Amino acid sequence: MVQLKEFRIVMPMSLEEYQVAQMYMVMKMQQQSTNGDEGVEVLENKRFQDDVFGKGQYTSKVYRLQSKAPAWLTTIAPKDALVMQEEAWNAYPRCKTVIKCPYFTKFSLTIETVHRADNGTSENVHGLNEEQLAARQVEIIDIASAETDYWSYAIRSSSFDFPKFKSTKSGHGPLLDGWQDNCRPVMTAYKLVTIDAPYWGFGYRLEQALLAGERALFIESHRNCFGWIDEWFGLTMQQIRELEQQGDCLLNEKISKLVLLTDAADCEQRFTHSSERQVQQVVHT
């Protein structure tokens, strides 16, 4: 049975700030979760243009997440069943991500994201039809909540205390009760997750587990977006793109793979100039 769930993540920042925050967060979290055995491998990272999204950034990645597999899944599949292939089209403020698993060939997971300068009150930003709206579940996520579960523990829950947190550089925060209604600036990431695992006997359980995993990842990543604000605040898009390119090289060096669209000499050249020190500081902060 196809699962359709929309997560609305309200953020205490502007749309322009979030674009930088999200890119910085992805880069840093990938570095933190990658080592020689598992983590993220970047296959492609390039500009694209098409009739659907217009102009944006296309990425292709492989996620090796063996240690994150729940115990029940390892009884019916090997640990490498949690090797995921991801394609993403980022044409901010619209994005689309498609995730597939080579082991479960019928499995599919799609995340369509629309970013708006509101506090999560838009009812149909994805333009769903009546049938889809009837099937859709909606959950508004509060990044200030300290709620935890199995997946948040597996992903590594951050320890920010947002009711007491205030950004030194931007002045944003703290996030007190009801902050979504009173915060300025404010924006929301509307993430529509469509997941289908048509396997008799365990497909529904797999769908629910992966929905819970995506939810935990959304919470953790967006908590980090805000918690790391004094690290990324003030960076330009050009600076964040340069850090991202260098970070991709570092990722593939960690995972002991070659960068497919960047040869070794190019990587080496990137590491020799002064900005190498900057990216090293960023990813190890």
pLDDT at 213: 87
pLDDT value of residue 150: 61
The per-residue pLDDT for 264 is: 37
Calculate mean pLDDT across residues 29-39: 83
Within 8 A by CB and 6+ apart from 101, the residues are 81, 82, 83, 84, 85, 107
3-state SS, 217-228, equals HHHHHHHHHHHC
Per-domain residue ranges of the chain? 3-283
- The chain-wide mean pLDDT, for the chain, equals 86
Each residue's pLDDT tens digit, 126-166: 999 999 999 999 999 999 987 766 666 666 667 899 999 99
How confident is residue 66, by pLDDT bands cut at 50, 70 and 90?
confident
Summarised one tens digit per residue, pLDDT across range 169-192 is 999 999 999 999 999 999 999 999
Give residue-wise pLDDT tens across range 179-232.
999 999 999 999 999 999 999 888 988 899 889 989 989 999 999 999 999 999
pLDDT of residue 270: 42
Is residue 234 within 8 Å of 28, Cβ to Cβ?
no
Distances (CA, A) of 266 to 57, 239, 272: 20, 18, 10
pTM, full prediction = 0.86
Mean pLDDT lowest among 73-82, 144-153, 259-268: 259-268
Cα–Cα distances (Å) from 51 to 92, 274, 282, in that order, read 15, 39, 35
CATH number of 3-283: 3.30.530.20
Q: Which of 79-83, 110-114, 159-163, 277-281 has the highest mean pLDDT?
A: 110-114
